[in-house]
Amino acid sequence: MSLDKNTVAKVANLARIRVEEKDLEPMAAELNAILGWVEQLGEVNTDDVAPMTSVADMQMRWRQDEITDGGYQPEIVANAPSEEEGFFAVPKVIE
The contact set with another protein (CB under 8 A) reads 13-16, 53-54, 58-71, 73, 75-77, 82, 84-95
Query: CB of residue 93 vs another protein: minimum separation in angstroms?
Result: 5
Query: Using CA atoms, how far apart are residues 31 and 4, in angstroms rounded to an integer?
Result: 10
22 or 63, CB closer to another protein?
A: 63
34 or 87, CB closer to another protein?
A: 87
40 or 79, CB closer to another protein?
A: 79
Phi, psi at 83, each rounded to 5°? -140, 145
Q: How far is CA 81 from the centre of its chain?
A: 23
Query: CB of residue 52 vs another protein: minimum separation in angstroms?
Result: 11
Query: Using CA atoms, how far apart are residues 93 and 95, in angstroms rounded to an integer?
Result: 7
Query: CB of residue 82 vs another protein: minimum separation in angstroms?
Result: 7
Q: Are 90 and 81 in contact (CB under 8 A)?
A: no
Q: Output the furthest CA–CA distance in the chain (Å, rounded).
A: 59
Query: CB of residue 89 vs another protein: minimum separation in angstroms?
Result: 4
